[in-house]
Structure 1
Amino acid sequence: MSTRRKKAAGKSSKKSSRTNLREQDMEHIRDGMAVSSSVPRTAGLRERGSLENGEDDLEMSLLSEDDRRQAALGAPQDEEGNAPGPTKPMSAEDKRSMALLCVLYLIQGVPLGLALGSVPFLLKDHLSYSQLGTFSLSSYPYSLKLLWSPIVDAVFIPSVGRRKSWIVPMQMIVGTLMLYISLNVQRLLDDPADHVGELTFVWTALVFLSATQDIAVDGWALTLLSHDSLSYASTCQTIGLNTGYFASFTVFLAFNSEEFVNKWGLPHLTLSGYLKFWSVVCYLVTTWLLFFKKEDKEVATEADMSISGVYKTIWDICKLKHVQQLIFLHFFAKLGFAANEAATSLKMVEKGFKREDLAVAVLIDFPFQMIGGWYAAKWSRGNTPLKPWIIAYWPRLFFCLVATLTVFYFPEPPISGTFFVFLIFSTVFGSLASTVQFVGISAFHTRVSDPLIGGTYMTLLNTFTNLGGTWPKYFVLKGIDMLSVSSCRVDDLSVEAVECVSDHGKAHCADIGGQCVTETDGYYTLSALCMTFGVIFLIAYIIPTARRLQALPTHVWRIKL
């Protein structure tokens, strides 16, 4: 029966025909093919014989005649197979839910800003790039949370709530761990070279707890917001995470600098005091959430399965051909920016750029990111949510090149006001491109994720986009030391036996009264390699693949539970 005949039929005949179609589909569809878990399949499936002609037509074989036509034209559909209608004004309930999501994402952004931002800057003067690479492993749990997300999705206390069962304890432990670190931070930072292992362990634990909270918050966002406002889930994540991240990175570094606070007459902020403050905030927000925020009970569905069942669901999702293409895209999409994101800021500080000046530059950038995130979310609400993500790729690569050249031509300090304005300009526009990409890809993930397994599905997709930005960082920081050539000079004579790349070599050079001179900086080599790969991969794979994926209707991303 065609789609037109189904529309013309009465309500009762529509229900009957869909039931019959569902039974017929089960006879003709092999295991592993995508079937909607929440809505009935549309009519017009190809015969079994034509499905066996090749996997390349998998997505199109799942669509009706009208579906294929709309997909070919690049017009995505809603879950019922219809073109999306006009958007409705946001309700007061959605606005309250957005405020809650912003606060929850803020709490996880604070430890991330410290682990990925401030702490590496505080350690830079005492550790080599290789040791910083070891510390960068602390960010990996945020990119590997898929490994335990099925447990978060499948195990919960009904009386507390499916998502609150995890959010409440995770935030309490995060607050407690931050309190512990605050009491021991001075001991760890006095001689960080001897405590690299312990520093990496405690911050890895903090990021792990925040990642677990994020799994539950991502899943809650899919049911907290109405269908029309789902694209704003990525806006909440942008606002919350960025606010927490910048508070722990730029704001903290500025107030932690004695020169900055003395210049402006502001109170000095220590890492210990900052951690204690956010520990108290975690306790207060979690207490309110536990006693004053009631989580709506989710309707019991087939998604309420065992942990092994959720892992099987993940595997079934990963077997979808278009999901595999998206995973491959995510795994390498950020490699073009890897050298810039891992080392550019550290290199500028090494060149003489003061940490507090860097903090001010990024602090000025903060409101632009918030505004950009909001408008990027509105842009991503249309039929092509990946369009802003693709477009923003070019300026982001361009500003990576600008950043590399800035490091190369960095003037002797103190820097002029004109150069500082230029740094602010490049920081704002580079970060804006990054924000647009983040919001665009998050909106796409929210749109295609099945709400029945929202925490798992969102985490699966977010895991690979996060991992794409995390896995290169360790190798970039290690590679800078490996590709760098630096020698020790004593009285204008080069001491061939002494290298000046490792901490041991630098210390030995200082002991004999020498000075390390860099002859080849591996940062520039790695930057060139990363950006070249980024351009090639963008043109050859990202653009055609992203356009094809966003043209698919929503229900082909769902599986039969």
Structure 2
Amino acid sequence: MANRKNLAKHDLPQFYLLVALYFLQGIPVGLAFGTIPFLLKSMAKETSFTTLGIFSIATYPYSLKILWSPIVDSIYDSKIGRRRSWIIPIQLLSGSMLFILGCAISNNLVFKGVDDAFYGRHTNGLHNLNILTLAWYFGFLVFLCATQDIAVDGWALTILSIQSLSYASTAQTLGINFGYFLSFTIFISLNSSDFANKYFRSQPLDYGFVSLGGYMKFAGILYILATVYVIMFTKERPLDDVLPRLGPSAAKKYDESKLVAEYPDGDSIGTSNKASIKYTYKCFARILKLKSVQSLVIIHLTSKVAFQCNEAATNLKLLERGFKKEDLAVTVLIDVPFEVIFGYYVAKWSSESNHHLHPSRPVLSRTNNWTKILVGDRGILTPWLWGFLGRLVAAALGSYVLSIFPKNNQLTKPFFLLVIIQHLLGSFMSTVQFVGITAFHTRVADPVIGGTYMTLLNTLSNFGGTWPRLLIMSMINYFTVYECYIPSANQSITYQGGSMEKCTEGLDGKISILTDGYYITNGVCVIFGLVLYFGFLKKKAQQLQTIPVDSWRCS
């Protein structure tokens, strides 16, 4: 048997194509999940966390794509290809949407005020921003991105040979992460006038290197060029040409309605390609009835609650406290090379676990007592378990970082280094979890309905990080108690929750936070995570990684 640790050379072109397609997907994700909330908070520090939570509705399509994935999986033109039939038009529409929305932002028609400095305008339009309208625009963009993801996930299961299949998760990790960091980390740095003035300019200016509208127009052109490449230089093989050849035992089981293909590790799956929507939804219903999938549903919908406060609010709270945009830009920019390097090795670690640790039987390897207590026996989900614990530590460290924030806003090098460490730890452990669970999804998904199955599992994972966002942001707002001092009346009013804008704009007052709801909310999240992990997640993950692959099949 060939060495399956490494990516096969004949799969390199397909692997690079997957990286490029996932990279495109990461561009709108970075904008909606990271950049827009950052800009809203940095342009107006009094922007409430409830408002930011409302904008998070724009990310919901990415977590609800399972509702239309069977349609994407079932309707296609056989001449164009099952996946290319969707990838090509969706990417062209996404590119056009990015370009048009970029033009609208540049002309101050959408997200008024965000690019004012680049065009010498002084409209002060941010205070008149309709957050629901902005959420709708970016929500539609995320919807297109989610639809593209369905098709690419399905193609990933057939575009690579069996020996390289687990590297689909590597391609996804590298592509989406780089697209996300380009749209969030790198863009925020290049958009910041403070960053450009401090590190590159001798004469300060009021704007950075790249405007939001200009970046979105560039991204739109990039989308269209990549789609032209897919049209001109790629072909899609039928499913039966990609799956393993039928062996002797399979021949004995031959049935016109269903062929059985056997993998080298002993798994056998059906390979008939039913293209009807009815069949796909039927399989979808079967998937949800599987006990293994139901257990995974519970894990995905609960596990990310523990990190939501830290990952959604810590950087925004730093900005609110007075952390300079250029310093935060440097902090997140440092993250890029680490993420690329770490992402590759974590993916390789997870891929090797995927190859050597067969999920149909327990793996009892030598582990020390602490490892046994923390993550149990080594298995396919071991990286995911380590990632969970690491993200808990990062969340707790986030509260500590904010608690020691210098009152005089004079940042010391040790403090700045601590901010970098906290950010890198959370980001790295998030990558560990993402790669680990994606490799597991790839391993158990049924290729016959690959797009639907992968989309279901990935959707559950994404939704687990999306649904708590509005709740967590509202909790931060609710538990925050602040004092509004009105100089003209020499009067102080105490508020619990609510928008701080009514103090700064309506009453022309000054805000002093008495109780920061961030600490309460983050503490609740971390405690919940600890109880959930040692009371349920670790044990259930140990069980899931030992379940035979047949238990995950619906065909």
Q: Under a length normalisation based on structure 2, what TM-score does the superposition of the two structures give? A: 0.82
Which residue number in structure 1 is paired with residue 65 of structure 2? 145
Matches of 2:506 and 2:57, distance apart in 1: 31
Matched to 1:309, the amino acid is Y
CA distance in 2, matches of 1:359, 1:553: 46
Q: How does 1:413-432 map to 2 (within 5 A)?
A: 413-432=409-428
**CA distance change for structure 1 residues 421 and 228 in 2, over 3 Å: closer, same or farther?**
same
Pick the aligned partner of 1:270 from 191, 198, 211: 211
Q: Do 2:381 and 2:440's aligned partners in 1 also have CA atoms closer than 8 Å?
A: yes
* Selected match of 2:38 from 121, 124, 133: 121
Which residue, 393, 397, 402 being the options, matches 2:397? 402
| Residue 330 (structure 1) aligns with | 300
Q: Is the 8 A contact 1:386 1:550 kept in 2?
A: yes
| Letter aligned with residue 401 of structure 2 | T
- Name 2:78's counterpart in structure 1: 158
Note if contact 1:392-1:433 (Cα within 8 Å) is conserved in structure 2. yes
Match of 1:73 in 2: none
1:248-296 CA deviation, whole Å, 9 max, x = no partner? Answer: 1111111111121123336611111111111111111101101111111
Q: Is the 8 A contact 2:190 2:209 kept in 1?
A: yes
Percent pairwise identity? 43
Name the counterpart of 2:549: 554
* Higher deviation after alignment, 466-475 or 384-393: 384-393
Shift of 1:426: 2.1
Aligned to 2:501: 506
Amino acid at match of 1:495: S
Of 231-240 and 447-456, deviating more is 231-240
* Structure 1 range deviating more: 241-250 or 411-420: 411-420
Give distance in 2, aligned partners of 1:90 and 1:113: 28
1:14-33 maps to which residues of 2 (within 5 A)? none
Matches of 2:6 and 2:35, distance apart in 1: 40
| Counterpart-to-counterpart distance in 1, 2:36 and 2:428 | 24
Amino acid at match of 2:210: L
Taking the TM superposition and a 5 Å limit, the aligned residue runs for 1:170-209 are 170-185=90-105, 186-187=108-109, 188-190=111-113, 191-192=125-126, 193-209=128-144
Deviation at 1:509, TM superposition (A): 4.9
- What's the secondary structure of 1:97's corresponding residue? helix
Q: Does the CA contact (< 8 Å) of 2:480 and 2:496 recur in 1?
A: no
Write the letter of the residue equivalent to 1:109: G
1:450-489 alignment, distance < 5 Å: 450-489=446-485
Partner residue, 2:310 = 340
Q: Deviations over 1:303-353 (max 9, x none)?
A: 423212211211111111111011111110111101111111110111111
- Alpha-carbon offset, residue 500 of structure 1: 7.6
1:254 aligns with 2:189: yes
SS in 1 for 2:81: coil
**1:490 matched residue in structure 2:** 486
Change (3 A) 1:409 1:494: farther
Query: Are residues 485 and 456 of structure 1, via their aligned partners in 2, closer, same or farther at CA, if it must alter by over 3 Å?
Result: same
> Within the alignment, does 1:239 sit opposite 2:174 as a pair?
yes
- How far does residue 493 in structure 1 lie from its aligned partner after superposition? 5.6
**2-structure distance, mates of 1:445, 1:548:** 15
Q: Is the 8 A contact 1:487 1:494 kept in 2?
A: no
Q: 1:313 to 1:486 in 2, by over 3 A?
A: same
| Structure 2 contact 187–210 (Cα < 8 Å) conserved | yes
8 Å contact from structure 1 (residues 250, 358) kept in 2: no
Q: Which amino acid aligns with 2:172?
A: Q
Letter in 1 for 2:142: V
Q: In structure 1, how many angstroms separate the alpha carbons of the residues matched to 2:503 and 2:413?
A: 38
Q: What residue ranges of structure 2 are gaps of 5+ in the alignment? A: 114-124, 202-207, 242-270, 358-378
Q: Which amino acid aligns with 1:476?
A: I
The answer to whether the 8 Å contact 1:500/1:506 transfers is no
- Report whether the alignment pairs 1:310 with 2:280: yes
SS at match of 2:514: strand
Which AA in structure 1 matches 2:430? S
Match of 1:350 among 292, 317, 320: 320
Instruction: Name the counterpart of 2:387.
Output: 392
1:230 aligns with 2:230: no
Structure 1 range deviating more: 508-517 or 528-537: 508-517
Structure possessing the higher radius of gyration over alpha carbons? 1
- 1:331 & 1:274 partners in 2: Cα distance? 34
Q: Is the 8 A contact 1:369 1:432 kept in 2?
A: yes
Q: Deviations over 1:71-92 (max 9, x none)?
A: xxxxxxxxxxxxx985254322
RMSD: 1.9
Deviations 1:197-227 (A, max 9, x none): 2101100000000000000001101111121
Structure 1, unmatched stretches of 5+, are 1-83
Change (3 A) 1:226 1:484: same
Q: Give the secondary-structure state (helix, strand or coil) at the position aligned to 2:112.
A: helix
Change in Cα spacing, 1:293 to 1:544, as seen in structure 2 (3 Å) is same
CA deviation vs aligned residue, 1:382-407 (integer Å, no higher than 9, x gap):
21220111122222211110011111
Matched, 1:99 2:34: no
Partner letter of residue 199 of structure 1? L
Answer yes or no: is the 8 Å Cα contact 2:25–2:179 preserved in 1.
yes
